[in-house]
Chain A
Amino acid sequence: MSASELQSGMGIGYLARARVLLSAAALVVASGCATTAATDPRDPAEGFNRAMFSFNETLDESIAKPVATAYKSVTPDMVRYWVRNFFANIGDIFIGLNNLLQGKPGDAVVDWARFSMNTTLGVFGINDVASEVGLDKHNEDFGQTFGRWGSPSGAYLVWPFFGPSTVRDTAGGLVDFYLDPVWRKQSEGVRWTAALLRATSQRADLLDASRILEEAALDKYVFQRDAFLQRRRGLIYDGKPPRDSSSLLREAPHAEAPPAADRVFDEPAVAVSAPASPDAALRVAGNPEQVLAAGHTGR
């Protein structure tokens, strides 16, 4: 067999494999689409997303949840507390950076004060002494920073292993990932150990929440998606989103006049043409709430 024959043979093998993969993917997408009668405008890739959701569920049931449950049962509360705080403390550096980028230098100072205090007095961050003296932890990431400056969320996306996201949050997540100290400048061994420990710790903290989700949801995929989108919207507005949960309803293709009992509609969001502050410029388009948020009152 000549070198070129070998090469073409490999090529065919590769092509055949790729075709199988592609048709499998197409099948998955098609079957996903078939289960949903109407598409939600926020979720054009619902077929793909549902397939990824099922994959993640299986992965979670067979590996992540058992590992997290075991971790919770073999480690003392104190140790889990230390592990959680250790990783949370590292996160504060970048939470501070994001607060600065979002034009909130005051919050950034709090984040970095937390980091300094917890790293020293809290012994490498394993104790959260800063919270005890009233320096509350924040939740920021690059997806929120993009959102703060007007980036629309884009389509809802579910990634294998990483779970719910949107186009914007995927872009933000890549920056988060790139800057993540756990992945940077570590030897291969340290990096994987640290990342798996962090993931286990985070999953263990969610054991109760995931059980509640299981009990509350009729269609877990939809429930999780809507909760994720609401949560992200709240985070971008730092917990003070304009009262517009009607967005979910307005997206129903056959939306009619809202019922009187639905008081969510009482407060009309205000549209602004000339945003004066980052706050006013804050826009969550892509979700149908292309409404600008000048209406919401600051703290």
Chain B
Amino acid sequence: MPRVGLRAAGAAVLALGGLLGGLAAAQDLVPPDVLVKNVTLEVVEIVKSDRDIQAGDRRKVVALIDAKVLPHFNFGAMTASAVGTNWGKASAEQKARLVDEFRTLMVRTYASSIAAYKNQRFDFRPLRARPTDTDVTVSVRVLQSGTEPVKIDYDMEKTARGWKVWDVRVADISLTANYRTEFANVVRESGIDGLIRTLQAKNEKAGEPAPAGRR
């Protein structure tokens, strides 16, 4: 019961933070490690208790991510990092479309990861940063027997609208760095528009409802 209360309090703080937006003074921001912990536990709790999600309802998982996770990500920075040196060559409109498509790709990948969740336990590591730091890494370890713990690092920066994630490293594999070569290859062959088209095609193809049995 106290845990539920705590979560409600956390949600209230989050909602308040969103409401006040730019008005919130720096010290009113939810600290990054607390934010990661709250969001992770909340999402896991919902995934565990929601029958539709348990039965493999992807749309509901995506809606959950949209509501709970996305607001804490800075997709502009993530996309820029993934596109790398070619980012400067893109027009404002191209950038917006790249961010859009990359966000969709990330959400689906994330949805698959959530669907694969099976009662692993989390070890939220203490934040190693000074209170004045504006760029921190929050580490969570996923514990499961028979393998070494998997470390997930969230690289976060402080903004007026709260702490935002700009890269995720799973077992030291940076998501944005991992896309860099792929994206550079596509841009070299078919330009920025080619990359937008490729991402669109990928998203549309994967957007089809998964065939039964594929879970």
List residues of chain A with CB under 8 Å of any chain B CB: 37-38, 40, 81, 84-85, 88, 128, 131, 136-139, 205, 208-209, 211-212, 215-219, 222-223, 226-227, 230-231, 233-235, 237, 239, 241, 245-246, 248-249, 251-252, 254-259, 261-264, 266
**Assuming A217-B182, A259-B87, A263-B135, is B189 touching A230 (CB within 8 A)?**
no
Q: How far is A248 from B183 in the complex, measured between Cα atoms in Å?
A: 12
| Cβ of A261 to closest chain B Cβ, rounded Å | 3
**Assuming A261-B80, A264-B81, is B173 touching A208 (CB within 8 A)?**
no
Q: How far is A81 from B180 in the complex, measured between Cα atoms in Å?
A: 36
Q: Is the CB of A241 within 8 A of B172?
A: yes
Q: Is the CB of A131 within 8 A of B143?
A: yes
Query: For the complex, is B116 an interface residue (Cβ under 8 Å from A)?
Result: yes
**Assuming A249-B85, A252-B184, A256-B85, is B174 touching A230 (CB within 8 A)?**
yes
Residues of A within 8 A of B181 (CB): 40, 222, 226, 248, 251-252
Q: Is the CB of A219 within 8 A of B182?
A: yes
Residues of B within 8 A of A233 (CB): 172
Residue of A40, A136, A226, A227 near B149 (CB, 8 A) is A136
Q: How far is A20 from B80 in the complex, measured between Cα atoms in Å?
A: 48
Residue of B76, B176, B185 near A219 (CB, 8 A) is B185
Please name the 3 residue pairs, one residue from A and one from B, whose CB atoms are nearest each other, closest first. A234-B172, A261-B80, A208-B116
Q: Is the CB of B178 within 8 A of A230?
A: yes
Residue of B148, B180, B184, B186 near A136 (CB, 8 A) is B148
Q: Is the CB of B85 within 8 A of A252?
A: yes
Residues of B within 8 A of A81 (CB): 145-146
| B165-183 Cβ-contact flags toward A at 8 Å (1 or 0) | 0110001111011111111
Residues of B within 8 A of A137 (CB): 146-149
**Assuming A211-B112, A248-B181, is B145 touching A231 (CB within 8 A)?**
no
What number of B residues sit within 8 Å (CB to CB) of A? 49
| Cβ of B113 to closest chain A Cβ, rounded Å | 6
| Cβ of B139 to closest chain A Cβ, rounded Å | 9
| Residue on B nearest A130 in the bound complex, by CB | B145
Q: Is the CB of B172 within 8 A of A239?
A: yes
Residues of B within 8 A of A226 (CB): 177-178, 180-182
Q: Is the CB of B108 within 8 A of A227?
A: no
Q: Is the CB of B177 within 8 A of A248?
A: yes
Q: Is the CB of B148 within 8 A of A261?
A: no
**Assuming A131-B143, A261-B80, is B188 touching A223 (CB within 8 A)?**
no
Query: For the complex, is B206 an interface residue (Cβ under 8 Å from A)?
Result: yes
Q: Is the CB of A218 within 8 A of B202?
A: yes
Q: Is the CB of A212 within 8 A of B113?
A: yes
Q: Is the CB of B81 within 8 A of A215?
A: no
**Assuming A37-B189, A212-B112, A259-B84, is B182 touching A222 (CB within 8 A)?**
yes
Residue of B84, B108, B172, B189 near A249 (CB, 8 A) is B84
Residue of A84, A131, A231 near B172 (CB, 8 A) is A231
Q: Is the CB of A227 within 8 A of B81?
A: no
Q: How far is A281 from B166 in the complex, measured between Cα atoms in Å?
A: 31
Query: For the complex, is B88 an interface residue (Cβ under 8 Å from A)?
Result: yes
Q: Is the CB of B177 within 8 A of A215?
A: no
Q: Is the CB of B178 within 8 A of A262?
A: no
